[in-house]
Amino acid sequence: MAASPGSGRPSYPSDVTAKQWRLIEPLLPAPNTDGRHEKHPRREICNAIFYVLRTGCSWRQLPHDLPPWQTVYW
């Protein structure tokens, strides 16, 4: 398995490509401007959501190298 760009983890077939991310990113709400940094990159959160959709696993069964299910379950 190749590494997912910028994440330091193995890639999954459900990971969004750079081209797909360019289409998705503008559709997401703007980040908070209260000075706090996001704990998990938005792309990784999307990758986790697509992982659940593709595999059919429960939220709690997300691999540990993706953001925690409590963050991903919107």
DSSP-derived 3-state class of residue 42: helix
Distance from C-alpha of 46 to C-alpha of 16, rounded to nearest angstrom: 8
Nearest to 7 by CA among 73, 71, 64: 64
pLDDT for the residue 25: 96
Q: What is the pLDDT of residue 70?
A: 95
For residue 3, which phi and psi values (nearest 5 degrees)?
Answer: -75, 145
56's tokens: 């059919």
In order along its 74 residues, the chain shows pLDDT tens digits of 555 666 678 999 999 999 999 999 999 988 888 878 889 999 999 999 999 999 999 999 999 999 999 999 86
pLDDT of residue 14: 97
Q: Give the predicted TM-score (pTM) of the model.
A: 0.84
* pLDDT at residue number 1: 53
Residue ranges of domains in the chain:
43-74
